[in-house]
Structure 1
Amino acid sequence: MPSLPELMPTQVSDETFGGVTYHIAGELVPVLSVDVTRMPVYFEHHILLWKNSTITIGLKSLKGALKRMMAGMQIFVTEASGAGIVAFS
């Protein structure tokens, strides 16, 4: 019988990269909290956990819609912008 998977400890919890500050918390179900005050972030709609009331959520269309549809990829991505924090899982 195969052994059960072991949780790997995370080294990074709070970091700023590319002008975006983020925080990672949790082990079994990690949560990524992103400060979108300075720069909007794009994400798949089904991973949103919560957002501050000052965050605006909108859709952004991607180029090459026909090719993306034929490949089974998304045509739209969700954009979070404004002053505040948004969390993903």
Structure 2
Amino acid sequence: MAEPLKPGQLDPLDFLEIDQLLTGEERLLRDTVRQFVADKITPDVGEWFDEGTFPRELIKEMGDLGLLGMHLEGYGCAGTSAVAYGLAC
């Protein structure tokens, strides 16, 4: 287990130091999904909501990132952990 941060070093967005409990792969997945959402979804989500639409091309990009069916095993799916699936959702 990683060494806890010293007083004054606490991350204001991670009071419980959950980040230290994640594997490197889980942090990478979280950061990748976070960046994808910031770049591709957040700028236009309000407009899509108002119009009742969602761009189909983003579905392919989400698949390319391995986000679709990621918790399933077989069928070409990754079979990721429940933690990884929760981070991506």
| TM-score relative to the length of structure 2 | 0.18
Higher helix share: 2
Higher strand share: 1
| TM-score relative to the length of structure 1 | 0.18
